[in-house]
Structure formats: C-alpha cells, structure tokens
Chains A and B, each alone.
Chain A
C-alpha cells in the first residue's frame, strides 16, 4: 500500500528546501520547451507564408492552348512511309487559335465535378502601355474578380485601392506597381492601352497590384474579363486560360491528365509546376524538430544530473526512510515525482515562454517587397505544438528521473548505516 500524500509531502519538502537547484532544473526544461514552441511557431508560420506564396496564387490545374508543332506531320499519315524512318526538318508550330475552343461548356462541366472547389476563366492579352510617344510592352489579364478573390487570395496583392472597384468599373485597371512607377501614375489617373490588333482603349487606374516578383510587376496588369475580351476583339466566349482549384491538391496530377486527354488542351498541375516546393517545406520542418529535440535532450540531461546528485546527497535520508518502513517503490516514487514535478512546472513555464517569444516575434516588423500585405514576421499559434511541447517535457523528465530513482530504489540501507 502506498500512501501518496506522504510521498508527495516528502517530494514537496525536498524540492522546496533546495529551491535553487529545483529552479535551475526546471529552467532547463522551460528553456527547451520555450525554444521549441517559439521555433516551431516561427518555422511553421514561415512555411505557411511560403506555402501561401506559391499555393494560394497558383491554380491546381492550369488549362490553356499551347502553341506547338503538330505531333503527327503529314508524312506520318501516308501509309506508304509508315515503315520507314521519316525526317522532317524545320518544323513550324501549327497555326491555331489562342483561345480555348468551347470554353464555356468546359467551365460549366468542370464546375459540376465534385472534386473541384472552383473554376475561373482568364483572358490574356499582349498590349502596349502608352506613355506619350513611348510604348511599353505589357501583358493584361482579364479576370473574374470575385472568383480570383475567393480562390486565389487575389486581394493580398493589391497594395493600393480595392479589387472590388474593378467590378463596378468596366474601364478600370489594376496596374502593376512596376509600370505605375515607370509611368509615374497612381490611383485615379488614366492611361491608354494599345492592343495587338492596334485598337487603343483608355483605362482608369482603380488600384495598384504587386505580386512580389519585380519582373511580373513591370508588365502585368489586371482588368475585367469583359474588358480583356474587348481588347482581344473577342466575344463573351473568348477565354484563353482556365484555372481550376481542387478541394484536394493531391488529385491534381490525375485530373490534369484527364482534362488534357479529353479536350486536347494543355493542362498543367501544381505538382509538376512546383515539384521542388514540397521538398523545401519538409526539410524546414525536419530541421525544426531536430533542433528542438536536441534542446529538450540537453534539458533532460540537466535533470538527470541534478537528481543523481540529489540522490547521493540524500543517501542517509533514503536509508532512514527504508529503515522506518518505506519500501523501495515508495522511495522511487519520491524521486520520480520530483522529476515529473520539475518537468510539469518547467514545461508549463516553457509554454508561457514560448507563447511570449512567439508574441514578440509576431510584433517585429517584416517588410518585404515580395509580400505586400505582411507587416510582421509570421507566427503560428497552433495548440498542437503546445501539446507536443508539454508531452515532450513530461516524457523527457520522466526518463531523466527514472534512472536515478531506480538507483534510489535499489539502495541498501544497511550499507549506508554500516558506512557511518
């Protein structure tokens, strides 16, 4: 029978009578857990940000018409030469339309697919921005603003003005920040845009767009789908690109194959387009875990050391306890509970330290051209990591306390008393 109250009273007295040592041991855990929480919060925050950078604005499947040479050249159709080795030199791309044939039915078909979260059409047009007598090369994309906001966090990249202003204004444009600087124009100004077929359209700047990639911002602007269709001289069904977002990104490669084979279109999935990206994320996570586990292991060794020393100091007490009827198991419990208490107190303080650290990092200004809407360092406050932290604190202190406590359990009181 074990009387836990007595055991706990002894534990408490031991810990409180050497509050400095206990404090140092607990601080080791606090520091380890605190660093773990802060680091993992920062790392996952950063990962999330980088994920967002790529994933949010990249469609899971991008459908368009690639300009490319025909795979089957006329000579391949002649049965006479089917057994021979044909060489055709200087092949040119096939004359074909840029627009997607029958785009609207395709879109409504995709929208019915239950794997699909959303579909949005785009019209790309090569243009010149006119600044006096100078023509600046550019690219205008006609978009469905609401869809883009909804599916691809388009709003994150509008640094001035509101994207919704574009909906109201059919002659509005969200101008790339690079071009805006080049042409010294800002919101409210008017610019003229010349399309490839020579027609000139005046547009009013309703907002400034900044993707974070300078090369893009120097050429890219956004207008309404309708405006871009006018620029291209096409009707309502003139659509050059279709972007698809799925519920589950993992399905993208399979589905893109389906689309390209069914509709004779080019469909690129996000996995193929950003293969290197996944690797980066997982390596960063791995590093975080390795560093944190190292910190906690070091803290564990600290506890092991302190408890070991404590047990050497307490040999006499252990002998008395055993002589007066405390069993080996009681003595083990006394020292185990000390270790676990240190782990619990140190771990809880560690969570608070981690939270404070996260909060401080969260306040540090972080301005980068690449991420116009981010003002401070990104931090994740995921309760999952706090659970991992406190569990690890308890497990490591348990292990660190177990060996010394086992030794205390085995101490023979006769050896100690005889040794006096």
Chain B
C-alpha cells in the first residue's frame, strides 16, 4: 500500500498577537484508499493542520509528502497545480461560485487543469453529478439549490480531477442529520467502491466513529492515531 499523504514533525506557530505554538510535532500518514477522520475540540488545531495538509498554508516547519513526493518547499504556483490535480476539497460552507451554474462549478477545476477537452470535461462533470444524484440540478444557478444539494455539488467538484485524496473541513457541520447521513454515505461509497482516500476534519463523534481510522487531537498534539 502506498502512502498518499504523510506529515513528518510538523510544527506551526501563530505569531500574532503573541507567539502561540499551535501544532506540536505532528507526524502521521494516510494509506491509499483509507477513510480517516481527525477529531478534536474547537481550538485544538485540527483545522490549522488540515490547511497545512491541503498546501494552502505554507507557513510551518516539518515535511509534507503528497503522493510520496516532498512538497514542503514547492513554489506557490506548483502548489496551486498540485491542489488542482491531486486534492479535492469540501468545506463546511459549501463554497460554490454563486454566478455560475452547478455544472460550471463542477467543471471549473478540470478546465483549469486543461488535460481534457471541454466536451469530455462536461461529460465527466455530468457523470459526477449523476453519481451524487443531483444530475437534474445541473443547469441551475448555484444559488438556486438547497444547502444539502450544494454540499453534494461541492463533493462532485472535489471529484472532478480524480484526486489522490479528498479533504473535508467539517463537511457535515452545517447540515441537518438527514443531509449529514447522505454526505457520509457518499464518502463511504467513494472510499469503498471507488477506492478514494479521504481525510475529514470533524467534531461529530457519530461521523468519526464510522470512518476507518480516527486521529484524535488535543492541544496541538496527536493524542491517538
């Protein structure tokens, strides 16, 4: 089994307003096809860790490997390309572009990647929407659909470039229990049937309990992995 993501001795400080050691010596790795959740109380640094793992935050010490390559000292442009190609992101607050249709939103990262033709990308996007059972909403404006639907569109967008890992930042935190279950089941299926690797930050114990592995954090350290 290959490691899709590995963190070695990651340290992170906030410098403002006073120096604060948020992440203390974080090391762990995620195997290909694993469904991992990071648990912990508010303020324990789990979101901060996720931003570092997602390559958006580069202000840390330690080493980060994505797809078994060291990416810690990559340039901002290289990291943007890595995010585009290898990481799918699902946020707590759906985060669709409001002026675009559902389909456009899903297609954007693939069009940015530019590896396929417009028509192929369109077919891919429609496939993903069909997979997530929101095919019928494809041509609506992103603002015209419900919260649960938006989150499924966001997942479809995360899948569009067939990333090596999907990361979620409280992806169910803003949803009712019914929609939460739907989103969880989608993640479950993606992991089991499509063999995607997933890393989800959550403080929902029920959600975490159903994942393959729980990394528990407290006070900037990993308590159990």
* List of B residues within 8 angstroms of A17 by Cβ: 99
Contact indicator B84/A326 (Cβ below 8 Å): yes
Closest to A326 in B: B112
Instruction: Known A316-B95, A420-B93; judge A324-B109 contact (CB<8 A).
Output: yes
Contact indicator B51/A325 (Cβ below 8 Å): no
Contact indicator B56/A414 (Cβ below 8 Å): yes
- Residue from the list A3, A6, A326, A420 in contact with B92, Cβ < 8 A: A420
Min CB–CB distance A9 → chain B (angstroms): 8
Contact indicator B111/A3 (Cβ below 8 Å): yes
0/1 per residue, B69-95, Cβ < 8 Å to A?
A: 000000011001111110101011101
- Residue from the list B77, B89, B92 in contact with A329, Cβ < 8 A: B77
Contact indicator B99/A14 (Cβ below 8 Å): yes
Chain A contacts with B in 299-329, Cβ cutoff 8 A: 316-317, 319-329
- Residue from the list B93, B96, B104, B109 in contact with A325, Cβ < 8 A: B109
Is A413 an interface residue, CB under 8 A from the partner? yes
Is A5 an interface residue, CB under 8 A from the partner? yes
Instruction: Known A316-B95, A418-B47; judge A5-B83 contact (CB<8 A).
Output: no
Is A330 an interface residue, CB under 8 A from the partner? yes
* List of A residues within 8 angstroms of B112 by Cβ: 3, 6, 324-326, 330
Q: How many residues of A contact B (CB 8 A)?
A: 29
Contact indicator A323/B56 (Cβ below 8 Å): yes
Min CB–CB distance A314 → chain B (angstroms): 9
Contact indicator A414/B81 (Cβ below 8 Å): no
* List of A residues within 8 angstroms of B157 by Cβ: 324
Is B54 an interface residue, CB under 8 A from the partner? yes
Is B124 an interface residue, CB under 8 A from the partner? no
Complex Cα distance A17/B96, Å?
15
Complex Cα distance A329/B77, Å?
8
Complex Cα distance A316/B85, Å?
21
Complex Cα distance A323/B92, Å?
13
Contact indicator B91/A3 (Cβ below 8 Å): no
Min CB–CB distance A117 → chain B (angstroms): 64
Is B204 an interface residue, CB under 8 A from the partner? no
- Residue from the list B84, B91, B97 in contact with A317, Cβ < 8 A: B97
Is A387 an interface residue, CB under 8 A from the partner? no
Contact indicator A319/B81 (Cβ below 8 Å): no
* List of A residues within 8 angstroms of B132 by Cβ: none
- Residue from the list B99, B108, B114 in contact with A324, Cβ < 8 A: B108
Contact indicator A323/B83 (Cβ below 8 Å): yes
Contact indicator B111/A6 (Cβ below 8 Å): yes
Min CB–CB distance B20 → chain A (angstroms): 14
Closest to A323 in B: B89
* List of A residues within 8 angstroms of B89 by Cβ: 323-324
Complex Cα distance A150/B92, Å?
84
- Residue from the list A5, A9, A320, A325 in contact with B80, Cβ < 8 A: A325
Complex Cα distance A317/B99, Å?
10
Is A13 an interface residue, CB under 8 A from the partner? yes
Contact indicator B114/A325 (Cβ below 8 Å): no
Is B162 an interface residue, CB under 8 A from the partner? no
Min CB–CB distance B126 → chain A (angstroms): 18
Instruction: Known A6-B112, A417-B91; judge A325-B76 contact (CB<8 A).
Output: no
Chain B contacts with A in 89-144, Cβ cutoff 8 A: 89, 91-93, 95-100, 104, 108-109, 111-114
Contact indicator B111/A325 (Cβ below 8 Å): no
Is B34 an interface residue, CB under 8 A from the partner? no
Instruction: Known A322-B56, A323-B83, A324-B89; judge A5-B169 contact (CB<8 A).
Output: no
Could you say which interface size class chain B belongs to?
20 to 34
* List of A residues within 8 angstroms of B51 by Cβ: 414, 417-418
Instruction: Known A317-B97, A325-B80, A325-B109; judge A1-B114 contact (CB<8 A).
Output: yes
Is B189 an interface residue, CB under 8 A from the partner? no
- Residue from the list A13, A417, A418 in contact with B100, Cβ < 8 A: A13
Instruction: Known A322-B80, A417-B51, A418-B47; judge A3-B114 contact (CB<8 A).
Output: yes
Contact indicator B56/A327 (Cβ below 8 Å): no
Complex Cα distance A320/B93, Å?
11
* List of A residues within 8 angstroms of B84 by Cβ: 324-326
- Residue from the list B57, B95, B104 in contact with A320, Cβ < 8 A: B95
* List of A residues within 8 angstroms of B109 by Cβ: 324-325
Contact indicator B83/A324 (Cβ below 8 Å): yes
* List of B residues within 8 angstroms of A417 by Cβ: 51, 56, 91, 95, 169
Chain A contacts with B in 321-370, Cβ cutoff 8 A: 321-330
Complex Cα distance A6/B92, Å?
26
Complex Cα distance A329/B76, Å?
10
Complex Cα distance A322/B57, Å?
12
- Residue from the list A13, A322, A327 in contact with B99, Cβ < 8 A: A13
Complex Cα distance A321/B108, Å?
9
Contact indicator B97/A5 (Cβ below 8 Å): no
Given contacts A13-B104, A319-B95, A330-B80, 12 further A-B contacts (CB under 8 A): A316-B95, A320-B97, A321-B108, A323-B95, A324-B84, A324-B108, A327-B81, A414-B51, A417-B51, A417-B91, A418-B51, A420-B92
* In the A-B complex, the 8 residue pairs with the closest CB atoms: A325-B84, A327-B80, A17-B99, A6-B111, A3-B114, A325-B83, A324-B109, A414-B51
26 A–B contacts, CB within 8 A, in A order:
A3-B111, A3-B114, A6-B108, A9-B104, A13-B100, A317-B97, A317-B98, A320-B97, A321-B108, A322-B80, A323-B83, A323-B89, A323-B95, A324-B83, A324-B89, A325-B87, A325-B112, A325-B113, A326-B80, A330-B112, A412-B56, A417-B91, A417-B169, A418-B51, A420-B91, A420-B92
Q: A: which residues have CB within 8 A of B?
A: 1, 3, 5-6, 9-10, 13-14, 17, 316-317, 319-330, 412-414, 417-418, 420
